[in-house]
Structure 1
């Protein structure tokens, strides 16, 4: 893959002529080194993340923590002397977990407690909990083959692990997450009274990983929870040994009325085209029982840092640069949609949008969504990033929050960090500040600043 990216880059470099290679390239290389030096010697992202995770804490949409996060990031950008900082109104879902969940497995005379977490959007169990025999399946085909007769009145246990052979762990996640998102409704259609889903992580541990699920229109509504991977292994073993094994779980979650919230936006005004925008962002919300350090506190502070770095090294952008803290990526994407809708209604031209939502790990590249010519032009800058270990610049995903901008012709870029550890912490209570490396975080912010600079200077067409 790397050879392909570099081949595209070399072809694009060749098409620009020797003037860029010998003159502009050298100037850009020096300036980008200045960006990285500033980030690594005098960065603010790590301390911003410390405050966001430890002073603000969990930030699920509609919560008090989310409101505090809005105020914190707004104040941080004001204190960093951005040219303009403002809030964008957005109504968001307000789901609450309630008291801590309980679960245990019953097989014969054995009764073993296991860790679970209600899935985001799930209803509560009936008062006193839900207890029933367990039906284990790996996929929806297995479930449907069982039919209503075998599923009715049971708790369906979805136990398909993320594929450990996938080097791209996001690919492994994509191959397993449908059972969390749609599994409860698929089980309910066949008469199940509850759903238990294996946590989305490659690691075996006792920490349940939550995440959103969606109730299908017309399907019965049943409670659903994630079980830790060690709990899933134990449950599977006990079901195989005793088909009459039961599981009990109790949870107290509910969905309240939508709540008012905000996207937080900070700007560095453009000197030539102030009505044209280059956006860098992350999502401000996190799940309710974690600090949300990697998901996505890291992306938020990297976005703020990217704009701050360019300002503090004295760069005067042609276009307006924006750092956007989107609200409600985890369970609704309302912030991303509201931002794109606002841009369209105001006839704002967004040249490019860059998102960081894969954790604060060592940056390896950028995925690009755009035309073939746009991808080639951006890939041509690969040589400028190579000194920082960033080689993978080519086709890929942008990000959920910036995705709605694609309909307006915006080029989308997603920061690609090393993904091997991300799902150890994703949507789990161990996604805490101490799991983030200061240096890795700063390298990601600098990489985003460098990409913003190049897009601003050369455009994407």
Structure 2
């Protein structure tokens, strides 16, 4: 796919450079022949959007305002409620034609005040604390914690082979993030099942608790939280993640002999809570009943600011509409921003949206989600069939000028995935992923880790593609 992207990029480079002076005055005319009018129009629009975003964009302002109003936005919390009100006001201020709160019922879990993984043997390390975070959804330990011997497990096959040794122990899942993989999302995918399945699989073998190596690309002392799951009929045991630096130390200790630790958590579950998706429409000029969705998730974990995950996605989505309004580029179709609630630990908002809009999903012509951080844009992934994929590649081609025009088959987004069964072509925004899993689900996911210029470029890239799809004479071909 890299070869085809370079070939396509070379084909559009000269005409785009020839047009950017018309819109921006930033690149000198090199005497290139003008392209066909339709291509020229698309390139001119793209240049206007990118230039406006770089020179005058407000994506970072949206993000800074969100994390100031609601830095901790876990579903059911006061922070999540504050984020909903913030989003309603922000959409109104931007000038959306319609803004509404659409109800959903979400889970409500709290981390509590006590999170401790403390070594109790061997004697040389007794009392040493390993930096940890309870996994989202974990049950509490008994007061005073659970003390037991540690058994290190690196694969499900090893767990099965050693199941007789697990009873009464704390299982330590230590399979690392594979740094040899070029895609950090592949590295994450290769290790995250320890977090999601670990508590269930260890409990089936008789474990009394679970500790996992954080699913992270960096070696540091910031533990990563994230959701863990339980299963009816299987004992629910407490589960926590330790930082990768702590995991390196624990690996070395386990290799030398028996290790014991104390795991203490006072997490708690509350009853389900009422909440909302925040939905805003920029109505189309000719076919307002046809809808292009720009999605992100408004909730976030209760550590850090959720600046990359997914405050940046929310900023991108809002900025798409602000840019189109500012540049008087209202398209033929309606552009709908949906800030979903409860992506992190349940997808309740996504399911509610798909259910409540079931009768109009046949008029949703496209949906795109931003949930990979606010880094430099590199392109898009999509579930679109061959016909729609070809159209998306054509529409995104002007973004080759900022190295963001690739469109390739791949994953899209957890929230918009609920629309896939209705045949809606979906896409995911793909920024550079090298740094994402150093911050993801940590106390380190803060506003200062987001580059204003990168965030502006990302918003521009999404806005170019969204406008092109929403303003195209014919709707995007649906998936069959």
Q: Please, what is the CA RMSD of the aligned residues?
A: 1.6
> Per-residue deviation at 1:205?
0.8
| Partner SS, residue 398 of structure 1 | coil
Could you tell me which residue of structure 1 aligns to residue 309 of structure 2? 295
Note if 1:176 corresponds to 2:191: yes
Note if 1:358 corresponds to 2:372: yes
Structure 1: unaligned runs, 5 residues or longer: 13-19
Q: Equivalents in 2 of 1:379, 1:347: separation in Å?
A: 23
Q: Closer, same or farther in 2 for the Cα pair 1:396/1:6, shift >3 Å?
A: farther
Q: Equivalents in 2 of 1:21, 1:335: separation in Å?
A: 44
Alpha carbons 1:83, 1:266 under 8 Å: kept: yes
Could you tell me which residue of structure 2 aligns to residue 101 of structure 1? 115
Note if 1:123 corresponds to 2:139: yes
Could you tell me which residue of structure 1 aligns to residue 465 of structure 2? 451
Alpha carbons 1:56, 1:65 under 8 Å: kept: yes
Q: Equivalents in 2 of 1:367, 1:346: separation in Å?
A: 24
Note if 1:4 corresponds to 2:4: yes
Return the match for 2:213 from 173, 198, 205. Answer: 198
Structure 2: unaligned runs, 5 residues or longer: 13-33
Could you tell me which residue of structure 2 aligns to residue 159 of structure 1? 174
Note if 1:186 corresponds to 2:201: yes
Return the match for 1:66 from 74, 80, 94. Answer: 80
Alpha carbons 1:298, 1:360 under 8 Å: kept: yes
> Per-residue deviation at 1:304?
0.5
Q: Equivalents in 1 of 2:121, 2:43: separation in Å?
A: 65
Alignment of 1:21-170 (within 5 A): 22-109=36-123, 110-111=125-126, 112-147=128-163, 149-170=164-185
Note if 1:401 corresponds to 2:415: yes
Alpha carbons 1:54, 1:433 under 8 Å: kept: no
Could you tell me which residue of structure 2 aligns to residue 16 of structure 1? none
| Partner SS, residue 375 of structure 1 | helix
| Partner SS, residue 222 of structure 2 | coil
Q: Equivalents in 2 of 1:153, 1:387: separation in Å?
A: 59
Alpha carbons 1:132, 1:248 under 8 Å: kept: yes
Q: Equivalents in 2 of 1:193, 1:441: separation in Å?
A: 44
| Partner SS, residue 247 of structure 1 | strand
> 1:189-234 CA deviation, whole Å, 9 max, x = no partner?
0100000011011111111100001102321110000011111111
Q: Equivalents in 1 of 2:8, 2:137: separation in Å?
A: 43
> 1:57-87 CA deviation, whole Å, 9 max, x = no partner?
1100000000000010110110111111111
Q: Equivalents in 1 of 2:290, 2:188: separation in Å?
A: 36
| TM-score, length of structure 1 as denominator length | 0.95
Return the match for 2:227 from 212, 224, 231. Answer: 212
Alignment of 1:233-244 (within 5 A): 233-243=248-258
Note if 1:429 corresponds to 2:459: no
> Per-residue deviation at 1:124?
0.4
Could you tell me which residue of structure 2 aligns to residue 388 of structure 1? 402
Q: Equivalents in 2 of 1:383, 1:431: separation in Å?
A: 32
